[in-house]
Structure 1
Amino acid sequence: MYKTLAINRLRYRTLISSFVTTGKFDQAIQVFVKMTNSDCRVFGIDYNQLIGVFIRYSQFSIAENFYNAMVPQGFTLSSFTYSRFICGLCKVHNLLLIQKLLDDMYKLSVVPDLWAYNVYLGLLCSKNLADMALKILESMSEKGREPDVVSYTIVISGLFRIGMCDKAVQLWHSMSKKGITPDNKALRALVLGLCDTGKVELAYELTLGAMKNRINFSLTIYNALINGFCQVGRIDKAQSIKTFMKKNGCEPDLVTYNVLLNYCCNELMLDEALKLMKNMENSGIEPDHYSYNQLLKGLCKAHRVDKAYMLMINEIEPKGLSDVVSYNTIVKALCNTRRSKMGYNLFGEMIQKGILPDVVTFTILIEAFLREGNSVLANKLLDQMNQKGILLDRVLYTTILDHMCKNGNIDMAYNVFYDMVEQGIAHDVVCYNALINGLCKASRISEVMRLYEEMQSKNCHADEVTFKLVIGGLIRVKDLTMACSVWDHMMNRGFTLDKDVSDALLNAMLLKGTS
């Protein structure tokens, strides 16, 4: 009899697995119900297998229902099944059920495996709940599951993401005290987190400074530190790290050179930038689009536009590395130096060479021509954008709106303002400021106040320019009570009014007091 029951139980289990595998979940459930109503006694292992199969096929709601039916019968899941259940629920971000499972496990003195813990910690940190993840991590040892370097890396990275820099560093020290050797992923999390908050020296001290003879640092770590020191203006330190890495058998790559190149070009250290380009090529590393575009940017910033153009034509284009960014850089430099017609000619040249202009190209030229009062060419460019199917972005819309306001075409500016909404482009503070400026000049203060209130209702925070414009407009129409109210709001937001406007407001109040 026992042999017959065992065979029947095996048949039921095989049939259930077959139905689940083929997606026939209702049939699988029916077979299990039939099994429970038969002479075959159902054991905890049956629930474990059934729930495990549903978890494997991401049928978490069904798995939850069977779990809820199992517990009152005194059955429990194994640590393995619980752990797989938690991992599966992490995929669908079901934090409530995960917590319920953990509570049930702890009551039974069952602990998830390390994989499940790490997946759960990753989910919490991805939802900016790193403080909660930290508590879980700190309780793991008490529960009997020691966190590993992956656990610490996940939480350290999560803490940096939500700005808890000090906690992240403390956790790093805790990991070290436990004798856990950080791998390059952990080092990367620490270095990037500290560099993002400007604590580059600390990043250096905790890595190269503290462990330079104990760990082989990856190229990624070196590059992150070099980039961090460049960001805070310490090119000397960045260069010394480059020298150190070479001595330790880690050759700089394209990213290393591009980071240094970006710094040199931004700081107009163009001779050093050209030297870096030569060093790259001598090391067998070919400069890419980014490398050359940084050099073009540096030359244009140093008002050497002609040299930038010749470099693009004679060196970059023959290598097939000139792109829309290259042309935009030079077109912008020409427009900024009142050579918009030359920029327009270069625009035509890029099209002839098969390099398609983008919204940035059109924005540069349209802004330049509007500034110079050449609305004919500006409109022609807008028509070309339309023909090419290039949509206006917020920057270009704001440029056009600002131009209309400055020329007193407020009603047309309103049309542009509302067209942005129809195109799904949200107004930002710069856009509001442009329209408010135009309305203030036209003494349409009631509309200014409506926009000011609209900004607050749409959670678009006023900046110093907004407050200056609004208060200035209110002073001009002698609404000093409202001007003072806006000034109070401004100070509550941590802004200060510039001397000219504050003097004008105080003088107006004195005049009112003497009249």
Structure 2
Amino acid sequence: MLEEARTLTESMKKDDIFFNVQSYNIWLCGLVRNGKLLEAQTVLKELPQNGVDPTIYSYNILIDGLCKNGMLGDAKMLMCLMINDGIFPDTVTYSTLLHGYCTKSKVTEAKNILREMMKRGCIPNKYTCNTLLHSMWKEGKVSEAQQLLQKMNERGYGLDTVSCNIVIHGLCQTGEVDKAVEIVSEMWSHGSVALGDLGNSFMSLVNEDDNGRKCLPDLISYSTIINSLFREGNLDEAKKKFVEMMRKKLYPDSIIYNTILHHLCKRGKVSSAFQVLKDMETKDCKKSLRTYNSLILGLGNKNQIFEMCGLMDEMREKGISPNVYTYNIMIGCLCKSGRTEEAIPLLNEMLQKGIIPNMHTFELLIKSYCRTGEFRPAQEVFDIASSICGHSEALYALMFNEFLAGGEIVEAKQFLETAIDKHFDLGSFLYKDLIDKLCKVENLEGAHDILIKMMHIGYGFDPASFMPVIDGLNKLGQKHVADELTERMLEMVSESKVDNKAYQNYRELNHMKRSKYGGDGWQAIVHRDDGSAAALKNLKRVQKGWGQGSI
């Protein structure tokens, strides 16, 4: 479509009928909508060369495109160029930039835009102020949000339902749901004056004019508080608000119904959820993917697999494609019931339909196989996961920990060694347990090799990992090797090198925080419960060798 428009534009230029700013603005709009920002910038620069003066609308088109693509610096620069050309920004220009900064959570920059806007005598509209207000609440800048509300009121902008909904949502996010509920109730009588219920700091924000009284709650107001009440577990109050909403002739949409269904199913109230579903269908609100996912989740919590499969079939009949979340619920339920083999076809179905499994999908299957001692199928799932998710740290940690828990020590050791070679962070790997188990099965050499390999690459790890190896070496009479390990352990503690990461730069180690395992010195190791008598003797011997006296 864009190429056809380009051909038409070139043809019009040749025929000398592409000459006014309106034609150029339409072409600029098309380029921006299709992501051709560089070409749009070139076209804007060409306008004066072709004897056409760009308008504020021409600049606003490109500024909007740049902001939507996160190119805020370029957008600000273009506004400066526009001013240099004698075209001053309007409310749309500033609002577009402000919205762009708010989208990127750059509240300070957005406030600067608002100040510049007002300094130039450009009056912000409610959309501008509400955009900044929303961003402030989102970032937790409550006091700044209050100040903005005051300024909005002082300058006569007034507070509309959108403003009130932003405050209601902000209160719910900060855990002040009771205040939010009270404001919604008061809005029916007092409009935006209900914000005075927030306390003295808000009393100056509101005045009982006609506009304030017309500021009534809408579906978003109720959806916000109903969701928050359910989230807090206050089901009775949530139901009351739902009834109140309908009594006020605000009829629920699919969003509110799906919110209620989700929370009921999550809390195991599946029968109540299906009653709500009937009401939803009588109101001509169609079931969506979210509806089915909530119901399948609820049935899954009750282990009603047959009914879950029925809903999956119904989804397919209605042309609603399950997503990865749907499949994960099904797979998780089957695995929990010991029916892992029935879950594998679902994984195949996902792959055939181009629905990419996530880490949680593979975690469910691998854990289920390992729990029943089926390590070969677990390895096969790991191979599939590696080809899709890559050789990730989380995947190797999962395999290592599950194989270790299942007693597959040799394979677990291989996973750990590969992880070490890949320089993964070992924080999620139970490597200390592996070292303990290797020592207990008299594979002291294997345990020693792991320690040496980790130290050679530059890992910092829990010094207690040395203890069983040092103890074992002493029992075998290998005092010299035990002494060397003890020295390395003490060096590690003194360097605070205890965070399970590989460091190539020694200087980097000296700036690391001390770990809870390291304490303020090597004495923390001596007083730990997980050491051994032989290791303690080694510490004393090494300490004396360093001329530090007795413990």
Give the TM-score category using the shorter length.
0.5 to 0.7
Q: 1:356-367 to 2 correspondence within 5 Å? A: 359=357, 361-367=361-367
Aligned letter for 1:402? N
- For residues 393 and 126 of structure 1, the distance between their equivalents in structure 2, rounded to whole angstroms, comes to 33
Aligned in 2, Cα 1:325/1:91: closer, same or farther, shift over 3 Å?
closer
Moved more, 49-58 or 249-258: 49-58
Match for residue 486 of structure 1 among 485, 491, 496: 496
- For residues 83 and 351 of structure 2, the distance between their equivalents in structure 1, rounded to whole angstroms, comes to 66
Moved more, 241-250 or 259-268: 259-268
Moved more, 154-163 or 98-107: 98-107
Matched, 1:150 2:127: yes
Aligned letter for 1:150? Y
Distance apart, 1:151 and its partner CA: 0.7
* Cα offsets for 1:452-479 (capped at 9, x unmatched): 75xxxxxxxxxxxxx9x62432555552
User: How high is the sequence identity, in percent, across the aligned residues?
Assistant: 20
Distance apart, 1:263 and its partner CA: 2.3
Aligned in 2, Cα 1:437/1:265: closer, same or farther, shift over 3 Å?
farther
Quote the residue 2:204 is aligned against: none
Quote the residue 1:241 is aligned against: 241
Distance apart, 1:131 and its partner CA: 0.8
Match for residue 164 of structure 1 among 134, 141, 164: 141
Aligned in 2, Cα 1:416/1:177: closer, same or farther, shift over 3 Å?
farther
Return the structure number with greater helix share.
1
Quote the residue 1:344 is aligned against: 341
- For residues 392 and 93 of structure 1, the distance between their equivalents in structure 2, rounded to whole angstroms, comes to 29
Matched, 1:226 2:236: no
Q: Residues 498 and 514 of structure 2 are in contact (CA less than 8 Å); yes or no, is this contact kept in structure 1?
A: no
Q: 1:394-433 to 2 correspondence within 5 Å? A: 394=392, 396-404=395-403, 407-409=409-411, 412-414=414-416, 417=419, 432-433=427-428
Q: Secondary structure at the match of 1:369?
A: helix
Task: Give TM-score, length-normalised by structure 1.
Answer: 0.65
Quote the residue 2:208 is aligned against: none
Aligned in 2, Cα 1:192/1:494: closer, same or farther, shift over 3 Å?
farther
Task: Give TM-score, length-normalised by structure 2.
Answer: 0.61
Match for residue 445 of structure 1 among 441, 447, 451: 451
Aligned letter for 2:308? M
Aligned letter for 1:317? D
Distance apart, 1:330 and its partner CA: 4.6
- For residues 416 and 96 of structure 1, the distance between their equivalents in structure 2, rounded to whole angstroms, comes to 44
Aligned letter for 1:412? Q
Quote the residue 1:135 is aligned against: 112
Q: Residues 408 and 438 of structure 1 are in contact (CA less than 8 Å); yes or no, is this contact kept in structure 2?
A: no
- For residues 262 and 71 of structure 2, the distance between their equivalents in structure 1, rounded to whole angstroms, comes to 44
Distance apart, 1:236 and its partner CA: 3.5
- For residues 146 and 11 of structure 2, the distance between their equivalents in structure 1, rounded to whole angstroms, comes to 48
Q: Residues 124 and 130 of structure 1 are in contact (CA less than 8 Å); yes or no, is this contact kept in structure 2?
A: yes
Aligned in 2, Cα 1:162/1:64: closer, same or farther, shift over 3 Å?
farther
Quote the residue 2:481 is aligned against: none
Q: 1:41-440 to 2 correspondence within 5 Å? A: 58-60=39-41, 86-87=63-64, 90=67, 99=76, 111-183=88-160, 185-204=162-181, 209-210=186-187, 211=191, 214-285=214-285, 287-301=287-301, 304-305=302-303, 308-313=304-309, 317=313, 320=317, 323=322, 328-336=328-336, 339-340=337-338, 342-345=339-342, 347-348=344-345, 359=357, 361-379=361-379, 381=381, 385=384, 394=392, 396-404=395-403, 407-409=409-411, 412-414=414-416, 417=419, 432-434=427-429, 436-437=431-432, 440=435
Aligned letter for 1:482? M
Quote the residue 2:10 is aligned against: 22
Distance apart, 1:237 and its partner CA: 3.5
Q: Secondary structure at the match of 2:260?
A: helix
Aligned in 2, Cα 1:52/1:350: closer, same or farther, shift over 3 Å?
closer
- For residues 471 and 110 of structure 1, the distance between their equivalents in structure 2, rounded to whole angstroms, comes to 68
Q: Residues 440 and 448 of structure 1 are in contact (CA less than 8 Å); yes or no, is this contact kept in structure 2?
A: no
- For residues 283 and 62 of structure 1, the distance between their equivalents in structure 2, rounded to whole angstroms, comes to 51
Aligned in 2, Cα 1:382/1:190: closer, same or farther, shift over 3 Å?
same
Aligned letter for 1:151? T
Aligned letter for 2:462? V
Quote the residue 2:462 is aligned against: 470
Q: Residues 410 and 438 of structure 1 are in contact (CA less than 8 Å); yes or no, is this contact kept in structure 2?
A: no
Q: Residues 245 and 251 of structure 1 are in contact (CA less than 8 Å); yes or no, is this contact kept in structure 2?
A: yes
Aligned in 2, Cα 1:20/1:155: closer, same or farther, shift over 3 Å?
farther
* Cα offsets for 1:379-417 (capped at 9, x unmatched): 45567x499x86668554442233355524356315754
Q: Secondary structure at the match of 2:252?
A: coil
- For residues 495 and 196 of structure 1, the distance between their equivalents in structure 2, rounded to whole angstroms, comes to 34
* Unaligned stretches of 5+ residues in structure 2: 1-5, 32-38, 195-212, 437-446, 471-485, 501-511, 541-549
Quote the residue 2:34 is aligned against: none
Distance apart, 1:487 and its partner CA: 8.5
Distance apart, 1:63 and its partner CA: 5.4
Aligned letter for 1:22? E
* Cα offsets for 1:33-72 (capped at 9, x unmatched): xxxxxxxxxxxxx9x999989977755368569999xxxx
Aligned in 2, Cα 1:317/1:61: closer, same or farther, shift over 3 Å?
closer
Q: Residues 475 and 483 of structure 1 are in contact (CA less than 8 Å); yes or no, is this contact kept in structure 2?
A: no
Aligned in 2, Cα 1:148/1:278: closer, same or farther, shift over 3 Å?
same
Aligned letter for 2:276? L
Aligned in 2, Cα 1:405/1:450: closer, same or farther, shift over 3 Å?
farther
Q: Residues 471 and 486 of structure 1 are in contact (CA less than 8 Å); yes or no, is this contact kept in structure 2?
A: no
Aligned in 2, Cα 1:201/1:280: closer, same or farther, shift over 3 Å?
same
Aligned in 2, Cα 1:390/1:91: closer, same or farther, shift over 3 Å?
closer
Distance apart, 1:134 and its partner CA: 0.9
Aligned residues: 445
* Unaligned stretches of 5+ residues in structure 1: 1-17, 28-45, 69-75, 454-466
Distance apart, 1:113 and its partner CA: 1.1
Distance apart, 1:178 and its partner CA: 3.4
